[in-house]
Chain A
Amino acid sequence: MSLISLKNVSFKYENTLVLSNVNFEVDEGDYVTIIGPNGGGKTTLLKLILGFIKPSEGEIKINVEKKRIGYVPQKAVNFDHNFPASVNEVVSMGRIANRGLINMLNKEDYDKVESSLKFVEMWEKREEKIGELSGGQQQRVFIAKALCSNPEILILDEPTTGIDSNSRDNFYKLLKELNKKGITLVLVSHDISAIVKDVNKVFCVNQKVNVHNDIKELESKENKFLCAYPENIEYIGEHHLKVKK
């Protein structure tokens, strides 16, 4: 079943065309990565999917309840680190939309918070201040927060920015595990070689969106995959890419 569907979508900011005639579908269980150069329209594409902005042309269909969309924004780990919130409080926010206005969080919500924190191995840190954790730990907490809402789909905008390589690898392992559990993932990322072996669809965004539905085609038609980075990326075989210096 298609969870997200974009048909002939274009977006103009003032008079500048940011996205032109975009067509794609994200199906249940997909692990999609969106790649492309800075300013190519990746974040705009996510904002359209999340309903923050309306398309100038075309149609967007989202077949998921808003509260079942988990979202980890680009600036998730760039929040005010002096903000007095414990890990527990941050993850609890993931239950707020499910519970509805006025109603207090109940035992079921706190059980879900506990299981989400345990899943990302951050339960021991639940009383810690979020701003005092490392970047990798904070990212795990934000994933736990998103998981709390029982998401059908998890949308992540460059979630590994500013995280060390070890934490980043662990983070991608966690995402793979979530996808195996049936959660559809849409991930904007620059770590192309780190994730290309895990994903099943690649959307190359550079004003236009080139969709690669079959990763196996990469080896024979690698240039197709490089369409978003015509000059900066080099295909070095076996799903590995290298940024040219």
Chain B
Amino acid sequence: MIDLILKYTFLQNAIIGGVLVGITCAIIGSFIVLRKMSFLGDGLAHISFGGVAAGILFKINPLISALGFAVLSGIGIQKLKDMKIYSDAAIGIFFSFGLALGVILISLSTGYTVDLYSYLFGNILAINQFDLILMGVMTIVALITVVMLYKELFYITFDEETAQANGIPVKWLNQILVIICALAIVTSMKIVGILLVSSFLIIPTTTALVLGIKSFKRTIFTSVIISVISVFMGIFFSYYFNIATGGAIVMTLVALFTCVLTYSKLIKKN
């Protein structure tokens, strides 16, 4: 396998892209899952579908148009929440809007379904240098934001009410969290596809939580390890069994989660 990685650029790109996405999503996913906002990941991914369709139709890089859509929708979701609309309902409204727009744009033009298919289901092996640079920039922006605001994001994740009482700008931080979640989603889209992208946010953190780790920082670290292992194993399975890479990565994540859950239940039983 190492020989192949050294030999083929597309495999190197796939691994670098996968690792970047795995790290970013695992870190942001830790905040999202613990704030019980898992549906946000799925919602933003489906919203991005409209952006991808618009990008392909108007010949803009679909990752850039999807990013614009996801970020604006993230801000919109937060605004609706401020207007006392339930969080899941607000996500649902933008979710439907993004999908409906995507479907309309597809119906306006024919001949680009193959491109769209790679965004819906992911095509990690088709990642090019430009995608990699874009992913790298998005990853750096998301990670720097999390590192700089780590203590505040941790505080509002644990106890939003007390954080607000202590003068932490809760509304502003919620907005930032949604925006960096949008960044992570769009960055991951080419790896696992719109339909599976939320698994990258949810499963590594949930697996780490099942392990019953005692500290938040260690939970994030464990999520990152689980995510990166799944990327490597997924690409390996994909190559040797000739199956879709995105699906193989997600199946590896699910398999790891199942193993950890079974193990932890057995330990508790004994």
A residues lining the B interface (CB < 8 Å): 50-52, 66-67, 69, 71-73, 75-76, 79-80, 82-86, 88-90, 92-93, 96-97, 99, 101-102, 104-105, 127-129, 132, 149
Known: A79-B159, A83-B34, A85-B158. Is A97-B215 also a contact (CB below 8 A)?
no
Across-interface contacts of A80 in B (CB, < 8 A) = 34
**Which of B148-156, B225-233, B243-251 is the interface stretch?**
B148-156
21 pairs, CB–CB < 8 Å, chain A vs chain B = A51-B165, A52-B161, A52-B164, A66-B167, A71-B166, A73-B162, A73-B165, A83-B158, A84-B209, A84-B212, A84-B219, A89-B154, A93-B163, A96-B163, A97-B166, A101-B149, A102-B149, A127-B215, A128-B214, A129-B214, A129-B215
The docked-state distance in angstroms from the alpha carbon of A231 to that of B152 is 46
Q: Encode contact with A along B121-159: 1 for CB under 8 Å, 0 otherwise.
A: 000000000000000000000000000110110110011
List the A residue with the shortest CB-CB distance to B169. Answer: A101
Across-interface contacts of B209 in A (CB, < 8 A) = 82, 84
The docked-state distance in angstroms from the alpha carbon of A71 to that of B167 is 11
Q: Could you tell me if B165 and A69 are in contact, using CB atoms closer than 8 angstroms?
A: yes
- Closest chain-A Cβ to B184's Cβ sits at a distance in Å of 20
Across-interface contacts of A88 in B (CB, < 8 A) = 215
Q: Could you tell me if B167 and A97 are in contact, using CB atoms closer than 8 angstroms?
A: yes
A66-B167, A92-B151 are known; give 20 further A-B pairs, CB within 8 A.
Answer: A73-B165, A75-B161, A79-B158, A83-B34, A84-B34, A84-B209, A84-B214, A85-B158, A86-B214, A86-B215, A93-B155, A93-B162, A96-B152, A96-B163, A96-B168, A101-B169, A102-B149, A104-B151, A127-B214, A129-B212
- Closest chain-B Cβ to A68's Cβ sits at a distance in Å of 10
Q: Could you tell me if B214 and A93 are in contact, using CB atoms closer than 8 angstroms?
A: no
The interface size bin for chain B is 20 to 34
The docked-state distance in angstroms from the alpha carbon of A166 to that of B145 is 45
- When the two chains form the complex, which single residue of B34, B164, B166, B212 contacts A67, counting CB atoms closer than 8 Å? B166
List the B residue with the shortest CB-CB distance to A104. Answer: B151
Closest 6 A/B residue pairs (Cβ): A66-B167, A97-B166, A129-B214, A84-B219, A86-B215, A71-B165
Within 8 A of A (CB), among B207-247: 208-209, 212-219
The docked-state distance in angstroms from the alpha carbon of A84 to that of B146 is 18
The docked-state distance in angstroms from the alpha carbon of A93 to that of B166 is 10
Q: Could you tell me if B216 and A84 are in contact, using CB atoms closer than 8 angstroms?
A: yes
Q: Could you tell me if A50 and B165 are in contact, using CB atoms closer than 8 angstroms?
A: yes
Q: Could you tell me if A89 and B165 are in contact, using CB atoms closer than 8 angstroms?
A: no
The docked-state distance in angstroms from the alpha carbon of A101 to that of B148 is 8
- Closest chain-A Cβ to B13's Cβ sits at a distance in Å of 34
Across-interface contacts of B149 in A (CB, < 8 A) = 101-102
The docked-state distance in angstroms from the alpha carbon of A104 to that of B208 is 25
- Closest chain-B Cβ to A172's Cβ sits at a distance in Å of 21
Known: A52-B165, A69-B165, A71-B162. Is A101-B215 also a contact (CB below 8 A)?
no
- When the two chains form the complex, which single residue of B34, B161, B166, B169 contacts A149, counting CB atoms closer than 8 Å? B166
- Closest chain-B Cβ to A88's Cβ sits at a distance in Å of 8
List the B residue with the shortest CB-CB distance to A72. Answer: B162
Across-interface contacts of B169 in A (CB, < 8 A) = 101
Across-interface contacts of A85 in B (CB, < 8 A) = 158, 215-216
The docked-state distance in angstroms from the alpha carbon of A83 to that of B154 is 11
Q: Could you tell me if B151 and A90 are in contact, using CB atoms closer than 8 angstroms?
A: no
Q: Could you tell me if B218 and A93 are in contact, using CB atoms closer than 8 angstroms?
A: no
Known: A84-B215, A89-B217, A127-B214. Is A101-B165 also a contact (CB below 8 A)?
no
The docked-state distance in angstroms from the alpha carbon of A79 to that of B209 is 16
- Closest chain-A Cβ to B155's Cβ sits at a distance in Å of 5
Q: Could you tell me if B166 and A84 are in contact, using CB atoms closer than 8 angstroms?
A: no
